[in-house]
Chains A and B, each alone.
Chain A
Amino acid sequence: MSFWDIASYAAWGISGLILTFLLFDAFRVSKEYDEDLMMHSIDEGNQGGHGHE
Chain B
Amino acid sequence: MSNAAVNSDQAAAEGEHATLMRVLGPVHVWALGVGIVLVGEFMGWNFSVGKGGAFGSLIACWIIGLLYTCVAMIDSEVTSSIAATGGQYTQAKHISGPLMAFNVGLYLVMAYTMLEAADALVVGDLLVVVAEQFGHVGLDPKPFVVLTIAALALLNYRGVFMTLSLNFVLTAMAFSTIVVLFIGVKPWNPGEILQHSELLTDLPYGWIGVVAALQFGMWFYLGIEGTCQAAEECRSAGRSIPLGTMTGIITLLIAASLTWFLGTGLLPWEYLGQAGVPLYDTARMVGNPTLQVLLFIGTILAAVASANGCINDASRAWFSMGRDRYLPSWFGAVHPRYRTPYRAIIFLVPVAISFAFTGLLDQVITFSILSGLMVYTFMGINMMKFRKMYPLGSIDRPFVYPFHPLPAFVLFLLCCSVYFATFLGYGASLISILAFYIAASIWFTTHRYKYVYRSAQFTVSWPRPKGF
Contact = CB atoms under 8 A, between A and B. Distances in A.
B284 to A, nearest CB: 23
Interface residues of A, number: 37
Interface string A26-45: 10010001111111111101
At the interface, is chain A mostly helix, strand, loop or mixed? helix
Interface stretch (B48-56, B137-145, B177-185): B137-145
Given A22-B349, A38-B18, A49-B454, A29 B342 contact: yes
Contact of A45 (B134, B334, B346, B455): B455
B131 interface: yes
Interface in B308-366: 323, 325, 328-329, 332-337, 342-343, 345-346, 349
Contact of A42 (B131, B151, B456): B456
A23 B332 CA distance: 17
A35 B328 CA distance: 14
Contact of B19 (A18, A40, A53): A40
Contact of A37 (B11, B134, B332, B456): B11
B17 interface: yes
Contact of B333 (A21, A38, A50): A38
B335 A29 contact: yes
Interface in B153-171: 153-154, 157
Contacts of B154: 18, 21-22
B454 A48 contact: yes
Given A29-B336, A36-B17, A47-B455, A22 B153 contact: yes
Nearest to B458: A43
A9 B142 CA distance: 11
Interface string B450-465: 1111111011000000
B346 A26 contact: yes
B125 to A, nearest CB: 14
A21 B34 CA distance: 30
A26 B140 contact: no
A3 B143 CA distance: 14
Interface of B: 11-12, 15-20, 84, 131, 134, 136, 139-140, 143-144, 146-147, 150-151, 153-154, 157, 323, 325, 328-329, 332-337, 342-343, 345-346, 349, 450-456, 458-459
Closest 6 CB pairs of A and B: A48-B454, A51-B450, A11-B143, A46-B455, A38-B333, A42-B459
7 contacts: A8-B143, A22-B345, A29-B336, A40-B18, A40-B332, A43-B453, A43-B455
Given A33-B336, A49-B452, 16 more contacts: A2-B136, A4-B131, A14-B150, A15-B143, A22-B154, A22-B157, A29-B342, A37-B15, A37-B18, A40-B19, A40-B20, A40-B332, A40-B333, A43-B456, A48-B454, A50-B450
Interface of A: 2-4, 8-9, 11-12, 14-15, 18-19, 21-23, 25-26, 29, 33-43, 45-53
